[in-house]
Amino acid sequence: MRGQRVAIVGGGLAGLAAAEALSRFPFEVHVFEAKRSLGGRAGAFREPDRPSLIDRCQHVAMGCCTNFLGLCRRLDLKSSFRRDTKLHFIDGEGKIHPFASSSWLPAPLHLAGAFQRQHYLSKEDHQRIRNALWEMAPPAAAQKYAGWKMRDWLLDKQQSETAISRFWEIVLVSALGAPLSEVSFTAARKVFVDGFLRNRQAHQVYVPTSPLQDIFDVQAAQRLGEKGVHFHRQSPVRQVAYFNSRFNVRYGHGEEGTFENFIAAIPWHQSPKIFSPILKNLMPKLNNVDEIMSSPISSVHLWLDRPLTKLPHAVLLDRTSQWVFNHGSRQLRDTTCYYYQVVISASQALAGMKHEDLARQVLAELVNAFGAEHAPYMLDQQVVTEKQAVFAATPEIESLRPNQGTILPGLALAGDWTKTGWPSTMEGAVRSGYLAAEAILRKYGHHEPVGDPDLPVAWISQLLWGLGKEDTP
């Protein structure tokens, strides 16, 4: 490997993960990023009249995201994330329902008490949800219900509209970025099994305590730079060609470079555009990636003149707003304000709404949820919608996702849209980067994994449903 050069196109989490993995070996690693900053969709922006960076959308990880957390550990980023072991669900009347695991029961029993405390669901709904989870859990269910859409499956399992909206949608729309009428049963099953049924730490939430740009564009870049990774910012790759067993990369404003290895770590709607016709013919699945459906996520940023709550974050029921994150006091121009960010996944229905109207609606929902006696004054607002934030986890998606390795040694794809077994998440992006690195390493006879194993499966979950067996070859 010594003296071999690797070009990675895309400085998002997939590209950073691939660079981190390959930096452990004697490669010369170059990362090309079209934008000024790294991090991709896990990035931030700055407004002229606001001194602090604003995350485009709130990104969180869970305890089951072992590869993402492993990347953060290797790059010394874990101190930039806060681990929260308790969630707070707020019903339509403003009542708070804590959701926290037992301190001593193993999975899957650790969340039984938390589930019972969600009194916005009837006893009948609780029982039918338990029955559905029991049928969903065994590995054989993934095959039995392959091709089903989640809403159809829930109706088949006699789930009420209340249970669907207050339980299943609250979890799955945020995780999978699409309405349940489009989401596949297979993707929904993975969310519940990996997040709640396999391990007692899997459901814990990791929330950034710094702007994402500071984490990935500054800290991660510094650590990777210390490992010898070269970054080329504002250097869009125009075309990649292949001849004499090397990849010729045209980038920036007429610059060129030659590399023995190449990883494309860019979104699915951009990836086919950079390859020469010969290379594209070697990856026939790229001809179909335009069939991958995207889904938008809207983030509503509010700067208020007084605090609304002391809770760090909350999940809102029966409202347009889904998650709210409390970022505490901030300085806005010459005024101290209180900054809240509300995330709305699968926000297609909001497309024609004026930003000012959406911000006012969200503020009214927050006032109602937190029971504020005096409505705060909105000092400022910003609505950011990422139209292609995630791919929709439809039943057809798996047949469209390509593997990271290709027929040509030294050529690999990365991105959460490639075949990782995960939905469109930070974990999926990091896993894809590690799998792409493994594809490059196989060219040199290295066949060991570079990522992190899944959390171990609790013995009760193994006994009840055979979980973990699907992980073994």
Is 34 annotated as a binding-site member? yes
CB of 388 closer than 8 Å to CB of 296: yes
User: Quick check: helix, strand or coil at residue 375?
Assistant: coil
DSSP designation for 80: G
Is 21 annotated as a binding-site member? no
CB of 432 closer than 8 Å to CB of 415: yes
Q: In this structure, how many other beta carbons lie within 10 angstroms of the beta carbon of residue 219?
A: 18
- As beta bridge partners, residue 184 has 149
User: In this structure, are strands 54-55 and 61-62 parallel, antiparallel, or unpaired?
Assistant: unpaired
Helices 123-136 and 185-192 sit at what angle, rounded to 10 degrees? 100
**CA distance linking residue 94 with residue 130, whole number of Å:** 25
Q: What does the longest C-alpha to C-alpha distance in the chain come to?
A: 72
**CA distance linking residue 403 with residue 270, whole number of Å:** 17
**CA distance linking residue 303 with residue 269, whole number of Å:** 34
User: In this structure, are strands 313-316 and 86-90 parallel, antiparallel, or unpaired?
Assistant: parallel
Instruction: Return the structure tokens found at 469.
Output: 């067996």
Tokens 């010394």 locate to 76
Q: In this structure, how many other beta carbons lie within 10 angstroms of the beta carbon of residue 368?
A: 17
Give me the amino acid identity at 472. T
DSSP designation for 6: E
DSSP designation for 422: S
Instruction: Return the structure tokens found at 84.
Output: 């929260």
Is 182 annotated as a binding-site member? no
**CA distance linking residue 193 with residue 377, whole number of Å:** 42
CB of 44 closer than 8 Å to CB of 38: no
DSSP designation for 345: E
- As beta bridge partners, residue 100 has 86
Cα dihedral sign, 192-468-448-72: positive
CB of 57 closer than 8 Å to CB of 343: yes
Alpha helices in 75-145 (DSSP H): 112-116, 123-136, 140-144
DSSP designation for 464: H
Residue ranges for the known binding site are: 33-34, 237
Residue ranges for the known binding site for FAD are: 33-34, 237
